[in-house]
Structure 1
């Protein structure tokens, strides 16, 4: 598979994983998730948005204004930066991006959905012209959501690391967020360049900032191979110190795109936040492979899927014909 195909499939993998997670996002009760999946052909992916699933258990129904097949705020962030890069010849123009961010997520904007803490704080900073950077001190998973598009736009460029850090700090001006963001970028760069997944996970963990390394190595060496159960050790919430180690555990212990995305949703909590990392990595590795890749039936459930695939191809420079 060509580098361009890797990139296009990787981006598509992130979007499909995010949309697949929407219906059960922020449902923390894994028993409830299990019972719901039994009602939907034993699949946790693309479960229809249903408020009653979130009642009477630890959960937060955040997506009342979303529709099945749409993205959570994580996928919206990735899509926004992807479109920005396409409009600016694959260059990140931070002033213009901040304007686009405010126009999309701000009051009266094109996005109709949940606004998380980093997004809300970033909108306030942009409104107050605090722009360098515009992010807030926050250690949650939105820090990772925009990285894949920027990484692929600047790959093999001396600017790549600076631009990855800039897009992280555009919403999450926090040292732990930068450390986890560089880890994600390193892992994705490794698999996109042909390194096998298990070696890439180990190498990325070994190269990670010392402050985050221990949790990653623990996830990769855990004797517990069930990621639902391992989520009790990491926690299932939005913080990077919970979500990234659990994502590493899922990647370590699953064998296909479908299995990993299902395991991620079944693990509960901020499944959509984790889905960007997991879906991007496995989209790059497995692509559209019939057995292990992104299922066609899932792609077809994503709204505007044909246009989205073309955008992924355009950023990747991939002409599939």
Structure 2
């Protein structure tokens, strides 16, 4: 398979994983998730948005204004970055991106849904012309959401790392966010270039900043192989020091795209925040393989799926 096709599958994998997690996003009670999954034919993916699932347990029902098959705010961020890069000949034009960000997520914009802390703070900074960078001091998973689009647009150019850092700081102007963002970019670049997943995970952890390296290596070296249970060790919340190690654990201990995405949702909490990393990595590795790849039935549940695939192919250079 060509590298262009691998990149297109990676982008699609990130989007599908995000949409799959919408229905149970920010439900922290894993027993409730388990019971809901049993009601939904033993699948946690694409559970219909149902407020009652979030009642009486640790949870936050954030997506009342979304529809089944749409993205969470994470997927919306990735899609916005992809569309921006397509509109600007695969070059990140930060001023124009900030304008598009405000037009999409701001008051009266095209997005109708939950506004998280870094998005809210970024909108305030853009409005006040604080643009270099426009992000806020935040160490949460939104920092990772736009990376696949920028990584693939710049490919192997000398500018790639600078542009990855720029897109992180556009919403998350925080050193830990940059450090974890580089880990994700390194891991994704490795698997896109054909490195075996377990080797790529170990190498990405080895190459991480010393301040975060230990958490990643602990996740890869854990004797507990059930990632839902391992979420008790890492936590299940939105911070990168929680979400990225748990994502590494899921990637190490699952065998397919479907298995990993289901496990991620079953692990609870900020499953959508983790889904971009997990979906992008396994989309690149397994593509549309009938056994291990992105399920066609899931792709068909994503709104505007045909146009989305066309956009993924265009950015990846895959005809």
Please give the TM-score of this superposition, normalised by the length of structure 2. Answer: 1.00
Residue 58 of structure 2 aligns with which residue? 58
Residue 251 of structure 1 aligns with which residue? 251
Match runs of 1:141-156 below 5 Å? 141-156=141-156
Per-residue CA distance 1:40-77 (angstroms, 9 max, x = gap): 00000000000000000000000000000000000000
Match runs of 1:227-242 below 5 Å? 227-242=227-242
Residue 121 of structure 1 aligns with which residue? 121
Residue 197 of structure 1 aligns with which residue? 197
Residue 268 of structure 2 aligns with which residue? 268
Stretches of structure 2 that go unaligned for 5 or more consecutive residues are none
The alpha-carbon deviation at position 155 of structure 1 amounts to: 1.1
Residue 110 of structure 2 aligns with which residue? 110
Stretches of structure 1 that go unaligned for 5 or more consecutive residues are none
The alpha-carbon deviation at position 202 of structure 1 amounts to: 0.2
Runs (4+) of structure 1 exceeding 2 A deviation are none
C-alpha distance in structure 2 between counterparts of 1:38 and 1:287, whole Å:
27
Please give the TM-score of this superposition, normalised by the length of structure 1. Answer: 0.99
C-alpha distance in structure 2 between counterparts of 1:161 and 1:253, whole Å:
29
C-alpha distance in structure 2 between counterparts of 1:151 and 1:81, whole Å:
11
C-alpha distance in structure 2 between counterparts of 1:250 and 1:196, whole Å:
15
C-alpha distance in structure 1 between counterparts of 2:64 and 2:129, whole Å:
31
The alpha-carbon deviation at position 133 of structure 1 amounts to: 0.1
C-alpha distance in structure 2 between counterparts of 1:195 and 1:2, whole Å:
14
C-alpha distance in structure 2 between counterparts of 1:38 and 1:203, whole Å:
37
Name the SS for the 1:292 alignment partner.
Answer: coil
C-alpha distance in structure 2 between counterparts of 1:126 and 1:188, whole Å:
30
Residue 168 of structure 1 aligns with which residue? 168
Name the SS for the 1:109 alignment partner.
Answer: coil
The alpha-carbon deviation at position 122 of structure 1 amounts to: 0.0
Name the SS for the 1:66 alignment partner.
Answer: coil
The alignment's C-alpha RMSD in Å is: 0.2
Per-residue CA distance 1:56-101 (angstroms, 9 max, x = gap): 0000000000000000000000000000000000000000000000
Name the SS for the 2:180 alignment partner.
Answer: helix
What is the aligned residue count? 319
C-alpha distance in structure 2 between counterparts of 1:161 and 1:8, whole Å:
20
Per-residue CA distance 1:222-261 (angstroms, 9 max, x = gap): 0000000000000000000000000000000000000000
Residue 87 of structure 1 aligns with which residue? 87
Per-residue CA distance 1:233-290 (angstroms, 9 max, x = gap): 0000000000000000000000000000000000000000000000000000000000
C-alpha distance in structure 1 between counterparts of 2:272 and 2:157, whole Å:
30
Match runs of 1:269-284 below 5 Å? 269-284=269-284
The alpha-carbon deviation at position 192 of structure 1 amounts to: 0.2
